[in-house]
Amino acid sequence: MAKIGFIGTGIMGLPMAQNLQKAGHQLFVSTHHDKAPAALAEAGAISLANPKEVAQEAEFIIVMVPDTPHVEDVLFRKDGVAEGVGPNKIVIDMSSISPTATKTFAEKIKATGAQYLDAPVSGGEVGAKAATLSIMVGGCPNAFERALPLFQAMGKNITRVGANGDGQTAKVANQIIVALNIQAVAEALLFAARNGADPAKVREALMGGFAGSKILEVHGERMIKGTFDPGFRISLHQKDLNLALSGARELGLNLPNTANAQQVFSTCAAIGGSNWDHSGLIKGLEHMANFSIRKE
């Protein structure tokens, strides 16, 4: 049994924390950020006042919050994680944030004597609940091996990509692929429906061919049914694509399709869809086409 601090028990973090408890680990949470949900408390999670106290009690400190500034606050605020860590402790950031900032955070944490892993995830709420997340890890091999049993309680496809920052780089790449696949599925279903075909039947036909994918399976169904409760919010995917596009500018790269997907997400946000599931991208395309694939 490991003592684990877990900060950030939202849509993704809560089921991840629950899976750690099911694996027999002791959890500590910080009430500065969010009180332990009843399900965690009933299973034995201990609430402490701030990240510093959590870091003092735990061997591993997992952070799962929305964006780069939130991670920075949890780690380096007064009474933050950095004030409570030291040798033999490992800080694991499972948020999806800037690879560049990650490298800076890692150096500051390692200066305390602790180790640092960036370990963002893919698989959404479904994968978090089923403990089937893909986990992309950046950090030293020793820290990775120590943390591997924790990752195995939360995910299935677990890969040490390289050094600190490389896990976040892999996640940004993942989000590019996911966004472009969502847009491809949305455009295909919109095209089919506008031509008079039943989009549900078209999806069924495509599932058995080379166009079949997890996104066509899961998000295609969401698009047809119009069920856009997150999931993974459009605002968060916009954040991830901003990381991709800003990183591309730094590297002198042009990512035209990523930029286009971001524009469609921006259309969704403009019509009130920032908190829709990212499969709601289709509503941005529908808005521009003045046509819906659903009889609404």
Active site residue 171: yes
3-class SS string, the chain: CCEEEEECCCCCHHHHHHHHHHCCCEEEEECCCCCCCHHHHHCCCEEECCHHHHHHHCCEEEECCCCHHHHHHHHHCCCCHHHCCCCCCEEEECCCCCHHHHHHHHHHHHCCCCEEEECCEECHHHHHHHCCEEEEEECCHHHHHHHHHHHHHHEEEEEEEECCCHHHHHHHHHHHHHHHHHHHHHHHHHHHHHCCCCHHHHHHHHHCCCCCCHHHHHHHHHHHHCCCCCCCEHHHHHHHHHHHHHHHHHHCCCCHHHHHHHHHHHHHHHCCCCCCEHHHHHHHHHHHHCCCCCCC
Catalytic-labelled residue, pool 171, 214, 225, 239: 171
The residues annotated as belonging to the active site are 171
